[in-house]
């Protein structure tokens, strides 16, 4: 296990990494995974630092203990991430932390269905069979030869031959069982000896394979890159913004609970909010309009961007094809009836919505952070009780 002091150092290193950091840095990929899994160790003294008076410090501490020992079981880091040290957020005890989230997802979801979401190749095969829109996989780099109906690349020569075919360039690469977009990169050119990565890095075939085998031990998907919707191109460049939908299934009925838009920083290949300068936008489920925006300033701190502050997007921006996107998510969700809490990522592209992945429960933190509201609503609590969750819940 990573010790707290080392973990905080890793967080700082990631926070300072520029958008153009080496995309095939194996050590950084491994360290990022550690950080995302372990979180930061924050002391009570740091928790109280935002209080100016003794009365304010006492109030912060009281709110924290209510959240720590309440239904959400928040850590200090989670309490601060949700800005619950600041007055004004109603019902802080309705926010859920990672530890409580794990138990909730266990109650709601049949563990035997986990592989259908964890293994991106398997999930893609299910969605393709259902006739739903997903990225086109051109090949799989996989030592055991499991390709799901697409060419399987197993060595240096086969990868070089694949990249030498101009119709395969550019190509987006991501681990078959990856998380947090760690290990994702794009190959934009190949001259027979070296490849251009993310428009600026020159890497050899051996370096690419070394990265594949260290970071994506279960294999790598090589996919046709998607193009952003024209309304977002000036914001994201070549990269794709995705919508994250949280939904629940109760007796076969599918209910969308919350939606956020994840926007990558210009030049980044992925939109995950841990990446510096990424944006996270709360989206109204009825209108498809952005209601609030926050920006990750340095992977540790984030700021709220009110309209007119220079934010890439502004509240009021309407997500294109939002109605069709919601229907696509509902269609996809119906194929996983034993996963009763689902989180879907859907790309906003120039050809309409494209399903990117399904998460087994998913990160409740994202939708709580963006909307500044705890997830333990009356409806979600009823869903948890029906699913057999026995933990403490608010009335």
Q: What is the pLDDT of residues 116-157, one digit of tens each?
A: 999 999 999 999 999 999 999 999 999 887 777 899 999 999
Task: Name the region of 257 (left: φ>0; alpha: ψ -120 to 50; beta: rest).
Answer: alpha
One domain, residues 155 and 303: no
Q: Which of these three, 160, 188, 223, is where a domain ends? A: 223
Residue given tokens 């913004």 in the structure block: 241
- Whether residues 180 and 317 share a domain: the answer is no
Picking from 68, 95, 122, the residue at the C-terminal end of a domain is 95
Residue 213 contacts residue 195 (beta carbons within 8 Å): no
On whether both 343 and 319 belong to a single domain, the answer is yes
What confidence score (pLDDT) does residue 32 get? 83
| Spatial distance between the Cα atoms of 332 and 357, rounded to a whole number of angstroms | 10
State both tokens at 298: 């340095």
pLDDT given at position 300: 54
Local confidence band at 8 (pLDDT 50, 70, 90 cut-offs): very low
Same domain, 289 and 375: yes
Q: With respect to residue 183, please indicate whether it lies within any of the assigned structural domains.
A: yes
Assess if residue 319 is contained within a domain.
yes
Q: What is the side-by-side order of every strand in the sheet holding 352-360?
A: 302-304, 290-296, 279-283, 253-263, 242-250, 341-349, 352-360
Q: Is the peptide bond preceding residue 170 cis, with omega within 30 degrees of 0?
A: yes
Residues 248 and 352 reside in one and the same domain:
yes
pLDDT greater than 70 at residue 21: yes
Secondary structure of residue 292 in the 3-state scheme: strand
Distance between alpha carbon 244 and the CA centroid of its chain, in Å? Answer: 8
Total of domains in the chain: 3
Q: What is the pLDDT of residues 245-267, one digit of tens each?
A: 999 999 889 999 999 999 998 88
d(CA 223, CA 131): 18
- Asked if 374 and 281 sit in the same domain, the reply is yes
pLDDT at 393 over 60: yes
| pLDDT tens digits along 264-290 | 988 888 888 888 888 999 999 999 999
CB 247: neighbour CB atoms within 10 A? 21
Query: How does the average pLDDT of the chain come out, rounded?
Result: 89
DSSP state letter for 300: S
Give a yes or no: residue 15 inside a domain: no
DSSP string spanning 26-44? HHHHHHHHHHHHH-----H
Asked if residue 29 is part of any domain, the answer here is no
- The last residue of one of the domains, among 189, 223, 257, is 223
Sorting pLDDT into bands at 50, 70 and 90, what band is 237?
confident
Q: What is the structure's pLDDT at 7?
A: 37
The reply to whether 342 falls in a domain is yes
Domain check: are 287 and 382 in the same one?
A: yes
CATH, residue 300 = 3.30.470.20
Statement to judge: residues 122 and 154 lie in one domain: no
CA 370, CA 283: separation in Å to the nearest integer? 9
pLDDT tens-digit profile of 81-106?
A: 999 998 888 899 999 999 999 999 99
In a domain? residue 310:
yes
Read off the DSSP letter of residue 226: P
The residue range of the domain holding 217 is 137-223
Query: By the 8 A CB rule, do 305 and 80 touch?
Result: no
Q: 8 lies in a domain?
A: no
């Amino acid at each position: 296990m990573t010790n707290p002091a080392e973990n905080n150092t890793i967080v700082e290193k990631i926070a300072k990494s520029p958008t153009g950091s080496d995309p095939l840095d194996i050590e950084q990929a491994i360290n990022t995974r550690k950080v995302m899994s372990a979180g930061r160790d924050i002391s009570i003294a740091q928790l109280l630092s935002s209080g100016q008076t003794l009365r304010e410090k006492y109030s912060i501490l009281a709110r924290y203990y209510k959240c720590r020992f309440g239904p959400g079981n928040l850590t200090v880091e989670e309490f601060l991430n949700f800005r619950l040290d600041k007055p004004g957020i109603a019902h802080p005890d309705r926010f859920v932390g990672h530890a409580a989230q794990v138990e909730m997802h266990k109650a709601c979801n049949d563990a035997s269905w986990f592989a259908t979401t964890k293994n991106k190749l398997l999930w893609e095969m299910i969605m393709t069979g259902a006739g739903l829109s997903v990225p086109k996989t051109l090949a799989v780099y996989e030592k055991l030869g499991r390709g799901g109906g697409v060419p399987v690349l197993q060595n240096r020569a086969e990868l070089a031959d694949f990249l030498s075919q101009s119709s395969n360039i550019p190509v987006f690469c991501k681990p078959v069982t990856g998380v947090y977009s760690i290990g994702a990169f794009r190959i934009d050119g190949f001259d027979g000896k070296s490849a251009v990565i993310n428009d600026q890095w020159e890497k050899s075939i051996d370096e690419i394979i070394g990265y594949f085998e260290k970071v994506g031990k279960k294999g790598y998907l090589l996919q046709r890159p998607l193009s952003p919707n024209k309304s977002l191109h000036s914001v994201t460049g070549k990269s794709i913004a995705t919508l994250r939908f949280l939904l629940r299934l109760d007796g076969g009925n599918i209910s969308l609970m919350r939606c956020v838009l994840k926007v990558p920083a210009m030049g980044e290949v992925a939109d995950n909010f841990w990446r510096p300068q990424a944006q996270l936008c709360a989206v109204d489920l009825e209108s498809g309009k952005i209601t609030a925006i926050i920006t990750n300033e340095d992977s540790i701190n984030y700021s709220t961007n009110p309209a007119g502050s220079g934010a890439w997007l502004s509240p009021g921006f309407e997500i294109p094809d939002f109605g069709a996107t919601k229907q696509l998510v509902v269609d996809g969700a119906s194929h996983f009836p034993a996963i009763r809490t689902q989180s879907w990522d859907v790309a906003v592209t120039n050809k309409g919505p494209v399903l990117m992945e399904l998460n087994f429960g998913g990160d409740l933190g994202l939708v709580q952070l963006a909307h500044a509201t705890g997830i333990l609503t009356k409806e979600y609590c009823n869903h948890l009780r029906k699913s057999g969750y026995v933990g403490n819940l608010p009335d």
